[in-house]
Amino acid sequence: MDNRVKEAIFRKVAEEPFAQKFGIKLLDLEDGYSKVEMKFTPDMENIFGFIHGGALFALIDEAFETASNSHGTVAVALSMTVTYVSSPSPNSILVAEAREFSRTHRTAVYDIKLSDDRNNPIASCQALVYRKEERLPFLSE
């Protein structure tokens, strides 16, 4: 993987207001692969006291975003299908890993798995991106 791309994406995630709001951290990044984490905090609970599906989706989407842009060109989501398997325990650390399993000149498909710190499956996602030809705009920063 191009180190300039890797460093730039790590920097942008650390600065990203949405990631900061949810406490999302980028742990690992390679071509077509990303690993991110966040802690399930009380402000992420839904009306039933479980984690809100939107909070889980946010973590999945961050893994997807970083993995799909890891090649140094802009990639934008076309579709995401999430299956929620179980609810994690409060205060658990959640980890999402995105892996590219098909990439063409214009599209790429990702498999994203979300688990808790006990390696229990929480959610699974299949996602598709459209790959633009333009370089990531923040590479020159």
pLDDT above 80 (res 16): yes
* pLDDT tens digit sequence for 34-79: 999 999 999 999 999 999 999 999 999 999 999 999 999 999 999 9
Which amino acid, 73?
T
CB atoms within 10 A of CB 53: 13
* pLDDT tens digit sequence for 32-44: 999 999 999 999 9
Name the E strands within the chain.
Answer: 25-30, 33-39, 73-84, 93-103, 107-116, 121-135
- pLDDT at residue 96 in the model: 98
**Ordered domains of the chain (ranges, CATH):** 3-140 (3.10.129.10)
In angstroms, the CA 75 to CA 129 distance is 6
In angstroms, the CA 84 to CA 31 distance is 26
Give the pLDDT band (50/70/90) at residue 19. Answer: very high
